[in-house]
Structure formats: C-alpha cells, structure tokens
C-alpha cells in the first residue's frame, strides 16, 4: 500500500486522472444472533473485496464508483491452536465459505456484520473550477419531518485529527486547510465515516433497551459536505406507521440535509453460545508471524 499525493491510500484507486476521492454512500448489516456477534477478547477476522466498479458521466466528466464489501466474523469453530507452534502461521478463513452465509437474502449466517461502501473518484478541479466552488452558494434541501430527538454539535479540528489517526486515514481534506482550499473546499471536511458513527450513536440512544432493540440494517448517503467549526444537527425519527423503521439525518448549518439514512430495528436473539465456541484472543507472536 502506498499513499497518494492527497494522503489517501492506493488500495481502491482506479488510476489517473481520477485523483480525488469522496465517500458517497454505504450500508451496515448486523447479525441479531448473539452467538455470532463480536465479543470482547475473542478472535475476529475481516475480509474486504471490491464488489463493483462503474464509470458514469460524459467524456471528460466521468466519475468512477467503487463499491467495497467488508465482512466481519469471529473465527468459526475451526479449533485453531491458541498457542500455535513456530513456523505454522494461522491464516483467516475465507468468509464467503462460512456455513449458512447467504447475503443475497440478507441472512448473515455466521457473519457478525457486513459493510458496503461506495467511493467516488473524480478528476482534480481546474483553478477556475476551484474558484467557482469556493464562491458558489450551496443548495439547501430542508427535511420534510421534524425529529423525535436531536443533538447539535460543532466538530473541531482536534476531533477530525483524532478520528483520522484512529482510522489510519491521512486524507488531507480532513487535516490540511490549505490543501482543502486548493481543492475547492471551504475548510476541513468532516469524515463520512465519522458522520456515520455519530448517527449510529444517537440512534442507539433512542432504542428501547428493555426490549433489547438493536440496529439490523443502516443505509446512508452523503449529500453535501460538513465542515469543521460549523454546527451540525443529528436527528432521529421513529416511523409512526412502522416502529421498526427509523429516519436518521444530519442537518448542516443552514438546516438542510447533509446526510440521510434509514435504519431497520430488530431485537437480539439468544442462542447457545457454546455451539460457536470461538477462541479467546492470544497476543501476536512477532517472531513467528502467528496471530
């Protein structure tokens, strides 16, 4: 893996001239069966695949949409040796082969969760396009419903720095104000994943813990940028016609949509935890490469 000039990694980079990366949308699906959920001090594995690549737009204005799938699971009952012998590295299983996994019908089988995200790669703006972006008036689309609950916060630069460090994200649009201006952004941009974390945190605070409610599915779309030192309002609304559905959104400083999301709510399902029997974590052995 190498870092590109803007600080992004090249794992999903489609190649020149599509140097600018944006986070467009995504979804999270969680397994309600307790026995397959990730739990403290148990081994886990993540598998990432590029699921789809599409080029859209007219000649000279194309955009490349890259959809990435991430599957997360505890180690299945493979009876891995918790103290592996020297020179016998442990390789994680291919999560597509786990028993019962059928993502086409949204049954996660033995997966703890699946994430899908769509990244958009575009050409760098010309100096004239940068000037137009900085001088343009953002379009505002106001929500049609009032929230049941909301909180307002003002993200600051240290928060963006810490989230970048936490997620190993060196993208300069979150760290370097001068770079942001040169790319046509007014200031540092709030991370798409940070917006997602904030929405999920507020949503979870509104779930009925006595009924063991949990998020089964969360779909979101980033509509307009959120900037550092500008207020944002995170809103939730339970659907009065379907209590298992939530609308979640973030409003920018003008009160318009910045991020829109929908959530499907369910309940945890108990089962015999001994049937999965995942292994307790062991410290990595740096000499042998075993994990």
| CATH code of 137's domain | 3.10.129.10
What is the pLDDT at residue 30? Answer: 93
What is the pLDDT at residue 278? Answer: 43
What is the pLDDT at residue 276? Answer: 40
95 belongs to a structural domain: yes
21 belongs to a structural domain: yes
pTM for the predicted model, two decimal places: 0.82
Low-confidence stretches of the chain (pLDDT < 50) are: 77-82, 84, 86-91, 99-106, 272-291
Domain count, the chain: 2
DSSP character string of the chain: --B-TTS-BSSS---TT--EEEEEEEEEEE--BGGGS--TTB-EEEEEEEEEEEEESSTTS-EEEEEEEEEEEE--S----SSPPTT-PPPPP-GGGSTT-BGGGTB-TT-SEEEEEEEEEEPPPPHHHHHHHHHPPPP----SS--SEEEEE---HHHHHHHHHHTT---GGGT-HHHHHHTT-SSPBPPHHHHHHHHHHHHHHTS-GGGTEEEEEEEEEE-S--BTTS-EEEEEEE-TT-TTEEEEEEE-TTSSEEEEEEEEEEE-B---GGGT-PPBP---BTTTTB-
What is the pLDDT at residue 98? Answer: 54
Range of the domain at 118: 1-77+91-124
What is the pLDDT at residue 37? Answer: 81
287 belongs to a structural domain: no
- Tell whether 117 and 170 lie within a shared domain: no
């Amino acid at each position: 893996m190498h870092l590109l000039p803007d600080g992004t990694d090249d794992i999903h980079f489609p190649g020149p001239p599509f140097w600018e990366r944006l986070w467009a949308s995504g979804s999270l699906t969680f397994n309600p069966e307790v026995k397959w959920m990730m739990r403290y001090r148990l081994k886990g594995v993540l598998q990432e695949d590029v699921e789809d690549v599409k080029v859209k737009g007219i000649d000279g204005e194309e955009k490349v949409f890259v959809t990435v799938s991430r599957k997360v699971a505890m180690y299945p009952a493979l009876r891995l040796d918790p103290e592996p012998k020297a020179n016998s590295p442990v390789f994680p299983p291919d999560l597509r082969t786990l028993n019962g996994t059928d993502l086409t019908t949204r049954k996660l089988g033995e997966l703890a969760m699946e994430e899908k995200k769509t990244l958009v790669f575009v050409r760098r703006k010309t100096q004239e396009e940068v000037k137009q972006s900085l001088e343009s008036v953002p379009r505002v689309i106001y929500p049609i419903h009032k929230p049941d609950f909301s909180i307002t916060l003002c993200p600051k630069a240290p928060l963006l720095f810490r989230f970048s460090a936490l997620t190993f994200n060196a993208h300069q649009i979150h760290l370097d104000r001068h770079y942001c201006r040169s790319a046509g952004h007014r200031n540092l941009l709030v991370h798409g994943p940070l917006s997602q974390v904030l929405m999920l945190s507020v949503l979870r605070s509104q779930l009925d813990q006595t009924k063991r409610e949990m998020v089964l599915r969360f779909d979101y779309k980033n509509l307009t940028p959120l900037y550092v030192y500008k207020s944002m309002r995170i809103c939730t609304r339970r659907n009065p016609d379907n209590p298992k559905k939530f609308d979640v959104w973030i409003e920018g400083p003008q009160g318009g949509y910045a991020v829109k999301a929908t959530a499907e709510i369910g309940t945890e399902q108990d089962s015999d935890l001994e049937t999965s029997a995942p292994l307790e974590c062991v410290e990595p052995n740096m000499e042998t490469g075993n994990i």
